[in-house]
Structure 1
Amino acid sequence: MPIQTARAFVAWTQPRLAPSAGSAFALGAQAGDGTLVGVVLISWPTAEVFDDGDTAEVLALATDGTPDAGRTLLSAAWTAVREMGYRRLIAYTRIEESGTDLWDAGFRVVPRPLGWHTAGRAEDVARVLWAARAFGGGR
Structure 2
Amino acid sequence: MSLRIVPVSFHEACSFVDEWHRHHRAPQGHKFSIGAANEADELVGVAIIGRPVARPLDDRLTLEVTRMATNGTPNACSLLYGAAWRAAKALGYRRLVTYLQAEESGVSLRAVQWKIVAHLPPRRGWSTGCRPRTARGTDNVARTRWEARIAT
Under a length normalisation based on structure 2, what TM-score does the superposition of the two structures give?
Answer: 0.81
Q: How far did residue 15 of structure 1 move?
A: 4.7
Q: What does residue 22 of structure 1 align with?
A: 29
Residues 56-93 of structure 1 deviation map (CA, whole Å, 9 limit, x = unaligned): 00001111111111000000000000000001000000
Instruction: Specify the code of the residue in structure 1 equivalent to 2:37.
Output: Q
CA distance 1:107–1:40, change in 2 (3 Å): same
Measure the CA separation in 2 of the matches of 1:117 and 1:94.
10
Contact 2:119 2:143 in 1 (8 A): no
Q: Secondary structure at the match of 1:111?
A: strand
Query: Counterpart of 1:74?
Result: 81
- How far does residue 119 in structure 1 lie from its aligned partner after superposition? 5.2
C-alpha distance in structure 2 between counterparts of 1:117 and 1:88, whole Å: 24
Structure 1 match to 2:44 = 37
Shift of 1:111: 2.6
Name structure 2 gaps, 5 residues minimum.
Answer: 1-7, 127-134
**CA separation in 1, counterparts of 2:17 and 2:33?**
11
1:130 pairs with 2:146? yes
Say whether residues 1:7 and 2:14 are aligned partners: yes
Decide whether aligned partners of structure 1 residues 64 and 55 sit closer, same or farther in structure 2, where only a CA change above 3 A counts: same
The amino acid of 1:27's aligned partner reads I
What's the secondary structure of 1:10's corresponding residue?
Answer: helix
C-alpha offsets along residues 26-81 of structure 1, whole Å, 9 cap, x if unaligned? 10010001000100000010111101111000001111111111000000000000
Contact 2:119 2:142 (C-alpha < 8 Å) held by counterparts? no
Q: If you compute each CA radius of gyration, which structure gives the higher value, 1 or 2?
A: 2
The answer for unaligned runs of 5 or more in structure 1 is none
